[in-house]
Amino acid sequence: MHMMRIVGKIVETQFRLRLQRHDMNPYKLYLVTDDQQDLETLKFVVEQAIAGGVTMVQVREKHGDVRAFIERAQAVKSILAGSGVPLIINDRVDVALAVDADGLHLGQSDMPAELARQLIGPDKILGLSIETEQQLREADSLPIDYIGLSALFTTPTKTNLKKHWGYDGIKMALETTKLPIVGIGGINESNIPQLVESGIHGLALVSAICHAEDPKQATQDLLSLMGE
């Protein structure tokens, strides 16, 4: 138990140092890109979302074309340059290293967090999707900076889920871990105010921004609902 507390304090200190290097809390409004959109659409969405005030961008590709993934990640990195908004790569450590991204987000079937941390180094942001209570209880002992609580509610973009956390699950997660919690899945205009009241640290969205006619305005509207 004493060793667990020491590990927890070390992880917490490293996390604070990484946030200081990024000069912001990046989790509030977290854009996850849509891998179904072509490169030009992706660039347009990210440019507009940054102009609207999004605080973090994750490039997600699920098609296995590493060269295309790197091209898209580099395009997004160019857009984010000078904005202070961190670039996170989904799943692929090699892509994160290739483009020198600000961080990496892992799923439960990806590389173990301990190994990913060794590869990306101590200064990068590392996130992990959490789908069960057991995974949640283990999170604080891992060398990660935040958790992605998945999925909050039912969503057509996430299938084969082990759990829908809901508001009670969010409350339990906040009581269980000291790590920042980013919620994803089924988030929309009707539930954002209550989610903000729950104390969750950030919300990750895909469709609400990527599929909006005006991504900049959509981002501004979302931030307004979040009290910004």
Q: What is the pLDDT along the chain (228 residues), one digit of tens a residue?
A: 455 455 445 555 554 555 544 446 789 999 999 999 999 999 999 999 999 999 999 999 988 899 999 999 999 999 999 999 999 999 999 999 999 999 999 999 999 999 999 999 999 999 999 999 999 999 999 999 999 999 999 876 566 666 899 999 999 999 999 999 999 999 999 999 999 999 999 999 999 999 999 999 999 999 999 998
Specify whether the CB–CB gap between 106 and 116 falls below 8 A.
yes
pLDDT at 212: 98
Domains, the chain, with CATH or none: 2-225 (3.20.20.70)
- Residue given tokens 């990660």 in the structure block: 144
Residue type, 209: I
Known binding residues: 58-62, 90-91, 110, 129, 155-158, 186, 206-207
**Whole-prediction pTM value?**
0.89
Sign (positive/negative) of CA torsion 120, 23, 47, 41? positive
Q: Cα-flanking dihedrals φ and ψ of residue 52, to 5°?
A: -80, -15
Specify whether the CB–CB gap between 56 and 26 falls below 8 A.
yes
Is residue 218 reached through a cis peptide bond, with omega within 30 degrees of 0 on the bond before it?
no
Q: Cα-flanking dihedrals φ and ψ of residue 172, to 5°?
A: -65, -40
Which of the residues are catalytic? 60, 129, 158
DSSP state, residue 61: -
